[in-house]
Amino acid sequence: MDLRLTPTTLPLATRPGMAVKPGTAQGGGAVNGFPGEFKAALQSVSQAQNFAATLQKQVQMENPKVSLEETMVAIQKAQIGFQATLHVRNRMVQAYTDIMNMQV
């Protein structure tokens, strides 16, 4: 007798390895929607930049516990995140401009 539940019978939040994020509904839909997700993404990019800056300072102070390789990877991750955020911003501004220039 097999008593295992299939993934389709479990709510999204109770599946193994799937935690409920703060600000999301039980069914997986975002409560705050796009603005909440965008704010979380901006905070994530900011944290990555702060972490990279901290590692960079530690390397400059010759902290033996911080490797140069780890610092360079953190800097590159922060730079890629910032570039992605900049592209999203540019696309949003372009979409806003296109909508504002539409004739009604």
The per-residue pLDDT string of the chain (104 residues; one tens digit each, 9 = 90 and over) reads 444 545 544 344 444 444 445 555 544 555 678 889 889 999 999 999 999 999 999 999 998 999 999 999 999 999 999 999 999 999 999 999 999 999 88
The set of residues, in sequence order, having a beta carbon less than 8 Å from that of 78 and lying 6+ positions away, is: 45, 48, 49, 51, 52
Contact 23, 32 (CB under 8 A): yes
CB neighbourhood size of 20 (10 A): 13
Structure confidence at residue 15 (pLDDT): 42
Which value, in Å, is the radius of gyration of the alpha carbons in the chain? 21
Percent of the chain with pLDDT over 70: 70
Alpha-carbon span 46 to 44, nearest angstrom: 5
pTM: 0.62
Structure confidence at residue 32 (pLDDT): 79
